[in-house]
Chains A and B, each alone.
Chain A
């Protein structure tokens, strides 16, 4: 079972390396959305610093969501999803492996990029460790919750819009705790409370979301 899950993870990473453009797209999206705020609001760093937590988190949320739409679609189209369904392995483990690949390819790069964008929003350097750790934890939950939505909307008309409608309300807790952690980091206060909550969400999602994804994938490939 672990071997099969690792094989799925390795395959998805290898596929991403063969088409690096797909990995870069969510990152570019993240940057573009963040850059729009100074243009749409004000270039004054003092004011931008106040909205930086919300901007970073909403932009990361949307970037992660956009890339999730195709999480299972290609596998469904070329038949390898069915191959996984019939492999005699627990589907939840394979789903977790696919989500882990998604996090490594999207959540982690988004996290690493956030400090750079944070500088553009006037975030002080002392806040960077807090931003990195909160986003690293939060994007795990985002990938998992989004994977449930992606599995449910697999092969559905206008699946992208629906994916947003299904997934975004479920990401409210991550957004609340994540943005708060970032706010505290910028203010230079202790943020361990918010990080604990983010970690709890991530653990909860890792435990339950793969089961929901597996159920949804079985239903979707009928």
Chain B
């Protein structure tokens, strides 16, 4: 898919991955997440190989693919609850307040109790953003985070990314759209077709 790629991202920084369709943006993100294994080379986190540190590393990042991982037959809130329970990152008493505030933050307070089946693509993305907001992870791997979102939704993404960087987190996003960050804070990585 791609070769000769070498980069490092440190805390408080973002990396915007750009490239044509089929250039391997998704493949790169999935490799970083440890879903795919590189044929050659390796991904390191704090100096340790990601693929040998599986579970520990997984708690350090969250991966949001271009399709939000939501169950159609559950409500937005039930989906969020499941995501939290799966990670086990919050004590039970904090779950509902955290979900409430995350839904408000992404502008989806009215959507939480509707079945995901009845939501539009953009509304689903907002629920997925709430899930992202709820997951305490230092690294965000975002595949097309602003697609299908209106201007207000894009602003939510931008402010969430900025807040994540401010707290020393790392964001790797594959998107062509501007995330509203200063270029030195968010360098671009151009993936080209192998010529």
Contact = CB atoms under 8 A, between A and B. Distances in A.
Direct contact of A and B (CB under 8 A): yes
A66 interface: no
A83 interface: yes
A79 B67 contact: yes
B37 interface: yes
Contact of B78 (A14, A79, A83, A84): A14
Nearest to B33: A86
B73 A15 contact: yes
A4 B71 contact: no
A83 B88 CA distance: 13
B119 interface: no
Contact of A83 (B37, B59, B83): B83
B42 interface: no
Contacts of A78: 67, 69-72
Contacts, number: 71
A4 B68 contact: no
Interface in B60-106: 61-63, 65, 67-74, 78, 82-83, 85-88
B36 interface: yes
Interface string A75-95: 000111011111111100010
B58 A86 contact: yes
Chain B interface size range: 20 to 34
B181 interface: no
A85 B55 CA distance: 10
Contact of A80 (B34, B36, B69): B69
A21 to B, nearest CB: 12
Contacts of B68: 79
Interface in A58-88: 78-80, 82-88
A3 B70 CA distance: 19
A69 to B, nearest CB: 19
B35 interface: yes
Contacts of B61: 86
A158 interface: no
A157 interface: no
A1 B87 CA distance: 9
B82 A82 contact: no
Contact of A15 (B58, B70, B74): B74
Interface of B: 33-37, 55-56, 58-59, 61-63, 65, 67-74, 78, 82-83, 85-88
13 contacts: A1-B88, A3-B85, A4-B86, A8-B86, A80-B71, A82-B63, A83-B69, A83-B83, A86-B58, A87-B58, A87-B86, A221-B35, A222-B37
Given A15-B73, A15-B74, A18-B73, 4 more contacts: A11-B82, A80-B70, A86-B33, A87-B87
